[in-house]
Amino acid sequence: PSIRIECDRVSRARYLSEMASSVFCLAPRGWAPWSARVFEAVEVGCIPVLIADHVVLPFDELVPWSDLALRVPERRVGQLGE
């Protein structure tokens, strides 16, 4: 599989375009207990890969998150791509 990582800032349009052309999008924990990247990924049709322990996503009782996203324990982040 191909993994692409960029550290430079990109425009919002390019950011969303790159996500839309990806199958999986990383969504590490942010400042909040969940990350806006989860919603951006779903919005553009990318499968969010949640990298956060003990995260509780909003509307958990209404949204089938286990059907929409993958969860990776923080201790296993180094194994992504293997």
Higher pLDDT, 82 or 1: 82
C-alpha 29 chain-centroid distance: 9
Q: What is the pLDDT of residues 11-64, one digit of tens each?
A: 889 888 989 999 999 888 777 766 788 889 999 999 999 888 888 888 888 989
Measured distance CA(10)–CA(18) in Å, rounded: 10
pTM: 0.77
The type of residue at 18 is E
Return the higher-pLDDT residue of 8 and 66.
66
